[in-house]
C-alpha cells in the first residue's frame, strides 16, 4: 500500500511518526506532506484551526480533532525517527495535565492513559538528546524516575517546559543536575499567580537556575500587567519571552518589543521606560549583548 501523511506541524508530529512506523512494518510505502502522492490511504494531523479544512484525508487527528486517538497497537510503537530525520528521541513519560487552563487545548484532548511511562518505550540509544512532550512532568508522581533514567543514560533534555508553580527543593535540585540542550523553560500565564511565581523565583535564585519564561499576553491581562510580569522576571535575572493569545495590533507590537533580537526592553533600567520609547519611535543605543551574561544561556 501507499500511505500519505499530511500535517501542518512545523517541526514534527509524533502521531504520524508512529503511524509511519506501523505501516513501514507492514511493508507499505510512506510519504510525508506530498499531497499529490497517489496514496491508497491518507492520514491528516491538524494543529492549527485555520488549517482544519486544508487537507483531504481518510483519517483526521491532531489538536483540531481532539476526540481522535491512535489505536493502542499503534500508540505503543516506537516512533519512526527517519520520517523527520530527527537527531533526538521524542515521546511522553506522562501525558495528563490537571490544570485545565481556559486558554489551553490540552484539557480537550482524549489522553490514551494517565500512567507513567519509561523513556525506554520511545528512546533510541543512538541519540544523546531526548525531548519530552509531557504536558506537566512534575504532576507525575513518578517524575523522579524519569529524571533518573535521563541521568543514567547521560542524556540532554530539550524543548521541554516545567510548571514552576509546583517547584520545590527536590525538583529544583533535579533540574540543576540535569543537562539541557537549549534553555530550560517555565511559564507565567496569569496575573493571579504572582504570589506563587515570586516565591518560586526566589527558589530559582537560590539554586542559581536561569530560564526562559513564556509570558502569555492578550488573554486576560493589560499591557501594564504584561510589563509588570516581564519586569519582575527581569529583576530575578530570568528571560521573558511573550506568547500572544490574539493578533490584536497592540499585542503584536508588544511581542515585537519583547522578542525582537534587538532586545528593546534591555535598553533602559526599567522596562516601561523602554516601552514608552519604543512606542514613541525613540531609538536608543543598543546594549552590547556579548557582555550580558543573561543572553548567554
Q: Which CATH number does the domain housing residue 232 bear?
A: 3.20.20
- Closest by CA position to 91, among listed 45, 126, 137, 47: 137
127 and 239: one domain?
A: yes
Check whether 133 has a pLDDT greater than 80.
Answer: yes
53 and 167: one domain?
A: no
Q: Tell me which of 69, 92, 110 is where a domain ends.
A: 69
Q: Calculate the average pLDDT of the chain.
A: 90
Check whether 137 has a pLDDT greater than 80.
Answer: yes
- Of the CA atoms within 13 Å of residue 4, those in its CB half-sphere come to 18
pLDDT at residue 99, as a whole number: 80
The x, y and z cell numbers of residue 282, run together, are 525613540
User: E strands within the chain?
Assistant: 2-7, 29-32, 41-45, 59-61, 89-91, 129-132, 156-158, 179-181, 185-188, 212-217, 239-244
164 and 52: one domain?
A: no
pLDDT at residue 293, as a whole number: 37
8 A C-beta contact, residue 74 and residue 23: no
Q: What percent of the chain has pLDDT over 70?
A: 94
**41-45: strand order across its sheet:** 29-32, 2-7, 41-45, 59-61
CA distance 90 to 51: 24
55 and 189: one domain?
A: no
Tell me which residue range forms the domain holding 63: 1-69
138 and 280: one domain?
A: yes
Q: Tell me which of 69, 86, 108 is where a domain ends.
A: 69
pLDDT tens track for 207-254: 999 999 999 999 999 999 999 999 999 999 999 999 999 989 999 999
188 and 271: one domain?
A: yes
pTM, whole model, 2 decimals? 0.86
109 and 28: one domain?
A: no
- Closest by CA position to 225, among listed 212, 211, 242: 242
Count of domains in the chain? 2
Highest mean pLDDT of the ranges 13-22, 152-161, 259-268 = 13-22
Q: Tell me which of 19, 48, 69 is where a domain ends.
A: 69
163 and 17: one domain?
A: no
CA distance 228 to 280: 20
144 and 198: one domain?
A: yes
| Torsion sign, CA atoms 169, 174, 178, 182 | negative
Angle at 104 between CA 216 and CA 162, to 5 degrees: 70
pLDDT at residue 90, as a whole number: 95
Strand partners, 7: 45
106 and 133: one domain?
A: yes
- Cα of first residue to Cα of last residue in the chain, in angstroms, is 47
User: E strands within 159-269?
Assistant: 179-181, 185-188, 212-217, 239-244
Amino acid at each position: 500500500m501507499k500511505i500519505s501523511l499530511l500535517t501542518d506541524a512545523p517541526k514534527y508530529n509524533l502521531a504520524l511518526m508512529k503511524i509511519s512506523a506501523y505501516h513501514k512494518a507492514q511493508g507499505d510505502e510512506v510519504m510525508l506532506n506530498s499531497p499529490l502522492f497517489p496514496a491508497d490511504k491518507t492520514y491528516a494531523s491538524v494543529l492549527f484551526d485555520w488549517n482544519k479544512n486544508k487537507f483531504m484525508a481518510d483519517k483526521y487527528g491532531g489538536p483540531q480533532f481532539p476526540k481522535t486517538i491512535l489505536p493502542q497497537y499503534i500508540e505503543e510503537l516506537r516512533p519512526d525517527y527517519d520520517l523527520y530525520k530527527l537527531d533526538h528521541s521524542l515521546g511522553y513519560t506522562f501525558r495528563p495535565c490537571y490544570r485545565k487552563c481556559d486558554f489551553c487545548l490540552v484539557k480537550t484532548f482524549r489522553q490514551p492513559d494517565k500512567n507513567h511511562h519509561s523513556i525506554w518505550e520511545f528512546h533510541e540509544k543512538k541519540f544523546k538528546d531526548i525531548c519530552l512532550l509531557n504536558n506537566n512532568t512534575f504532576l507525575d508522581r513518578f517524575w523522579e524516575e524519569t529524571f533518573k533514567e535521563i541521568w543514567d543514560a547521560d542524556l540532554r533534555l530539550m524543548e521541554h517546559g516545567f510548571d514552576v508553580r509546583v517547584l520545590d527543593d527536590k525538583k529544583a535540585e533535579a533540574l540543576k543536575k540535569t543537562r539541557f540542550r537549549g534553555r530550560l523553560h517555565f511559564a507565567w500565564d496569569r496575573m493571579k499567580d504572582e504570589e506563587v511565581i515570586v516565591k518560586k523565583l526566589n527558589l530559582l535564585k537560590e539554586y542559581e537556575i536561569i530560564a526562559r519564561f513564556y509570558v502569555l499576553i492578550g488573554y486576560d491581562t493589560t499591557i501594564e500587567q504584561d510589563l509588570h510580569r516581564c519586569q519582575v522576571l527581569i529583576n530575578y535575572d530570568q528571560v521573558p519571552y511573550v506568547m500572544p493569545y490574539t493578533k490584536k495590533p497592540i499585542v503584536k507590537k508588544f511581542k515585537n518589543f519583547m522578542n525582537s533580537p534587538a532586545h528593546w526592553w534591555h535598553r533602559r533600567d526599567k522596562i516601561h521606560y523602554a516601552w514608552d520609547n519604543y512606542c514613541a519611535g525613540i531609538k536608543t543605543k543598543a546594549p552590547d549583548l556579548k557582555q550580558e551574561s543573561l543572553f548567554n544561556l
